[in-house]
Amino acid sequence: MFLQAIPLGGGGFVGSNLAYHLSDTGDYSVRVVDVHDDKLRLKMANNPIDFVDLDIRSDRDALDDLVRQADVVVNLAAHVHPSAFLIRPLEVVETNLFASLETVASCIRNRKFLLHFSTSEVYGKTGGSEEPFREDETDCILGPIGNHRWIYSCAKQMLDRIIHAHGLAGELDYAIVRPFNFVGPLMDGLVPRWTREDNPRVLANFMSALIYDRPLELVNGGRSRRCFTFIDDGVDALELIIRNRDRVNRQIFNIGNPGNETTIADLARLMVRLYRAHCDPKASGEIRTVSGDSFYGPGYEDCDRRLPDISKIQGLGWAPRHDLEETFRRCVIYFHRNRAHLESMLKDATSPSRALPPSGDSDERTMRPTAASGRHGSPNS
């Protein structure tokens, strides 16, 4: 098997790791489409990259040409930072729904298999249930319209439903994946001076606090529970779905690690312990509680728990390999050892990307450093 895979929005965290993984198998020719390639170039280091600089919203003909050449199209285009959900909600809808509709239409026109990267956020709230989220059974419960925190979830859920409807009509072959909190190197960058507008996800938020000696801030006490999945496990699952695309056609798959469930408060304590053990034994590690409104702005609301049922993807032979301690140990060491390079890139996000020294971790390949571009508004990242 040798396949042409085209990750659209493939220059970001998941895309760069997936491109590396697919290329490394020797079974795929990978052409990455995005408007930024800094993380991709860092991940690939000296390996050749077939990169197309294209905003998928701007040129339908160019998009069609790319899709026509593919065996598998991977839609990773998304706007995924929670602060943007409240600050730029219309931009979130434009990127996560309307831009991706062009990708869906192109796959239909050219009869190409679509692997669509959705989100675990489509499930919304638990509604008080202790049951895990199941792809084909769980109700998707969102908050009131005035809480714009749910606009991302709503846009992604609507796209899932449209893709499903095209499948029912016999027009589209696809698989939808719902990732549960993928983390790892090449995720978000360091934030020396926190602002609401430049507010990364929890891993980079806590690491920035540790490195710059700020308190780790727990939104509403950090009671929410999450299941963190190491990126290597995530891309293994994605490749397995691509490889079995005939078998999994028109199905939805959760990808997550239920064994890594933790409260955000316990995660903060874990990261403080790991940082003191591997980086700075004298680190303050202060932890404090803040309100959701003060951290994100008015209209914030959270899901209390996100626990996946992964029996469907396990049926293909996949299982996560990295426990919570190992996942965050590798992340903490990575951020600490590459601090100077990350800060340098923050000062000049437009400078050419450079491959950075390996972390010294036992698996250098998974520890290639990230570019701290701060470009959270990228339409394809």
Listed range (114-118, 178-182, 293-297, 328-332) with the worst mean pLDDT: 293-297
Average pLDDT, the chain: 87
Residue 363 has pLDDT above 50, yes or no: no
Q: How many whole angstroms separate alpha carbon 290 and alpha carbon 177?
A: 33
Mean pLDDT to the nearest integer, 6-20: 95
pLDDT at residue 172, as a whole number: 98
pLDDT at residue 358, as a whole number: 38
pLDDT at residue 140, as a whole number: 96
Structure-derived torsion over alpha carbons of residues 104, 110, 115, 120, reported in degrees to the nearest 10: 10
Q: How many whole angstroms separate alpha carbon 176 and alpha carbon 161?
A: 10
Predicted TM-score of the model (pTM): 0.89
* Residue from 277, 177, 266 nearest 228 by CA: 266
* Residue from 325, 216, 190, 204 nearest 270 by CA: 325
Q: Indicate the class that CATH gives domain 3-365.
A: alpha beta
Mean pLDDT to the nearest integer, 228-241: 98
Catalytic residues: 152
Residue 85 has pLDDT above 60, yes or no: yes
pLDDT at residue 343, as a whole number: 64
Return the SS3 of 257: coil
Residue 365 has pLDDT above 80, yes or no: no
**Residue 151 pLDDT class (50, 70, 90 cuts):** very high
What are 275-334's pLDDT values in tens digits? 999 999 999 999 999 998 888 888 788 889 999 999 999 999 999 999 999 999 999 999
Residue 347 has pLDDT above 80, yes or no: no
CB atoms within 10 A of CB 165: 11
124-155 residues labelled b (16+ CB within 10 A) or e (exposed): bbbeeeeebbebeebeeebbeeebbbbbbbbb
Sorted by where each begins, the domain ranges of the chain are 3-365
Q: Are strands 50-53 and 28-34 parallel, antiparallel or unpaired?
A: parallel
Residue 378 has pLDDT above 80, yes or no: no
Listed range (42-56, 191-205, 231-245, 353-367) with the worst mean pLDDT: 353-367
pLDDT at residue 94, as a whole number: 92
Mean pLDDT to the nearest integer, 171-176: 98
pLDDT at residue 342, as a whole number: 62
pLDDT at residue 353, as a whole number: 37
**Residue 189 pLDDT class (50, 70, 90 cuts):** confident
Contacts of the segment 335-341: beta carbons below 8 A, 24+ positions apart = 335/190, 335/204, 335/207, 335/211, 336/211, 336/275, 336/278, 336/279, 336/280, 338/369, 338/370, 339/190, 339/211, 341/369
Percent of the chain with pLDDT over 90: 68
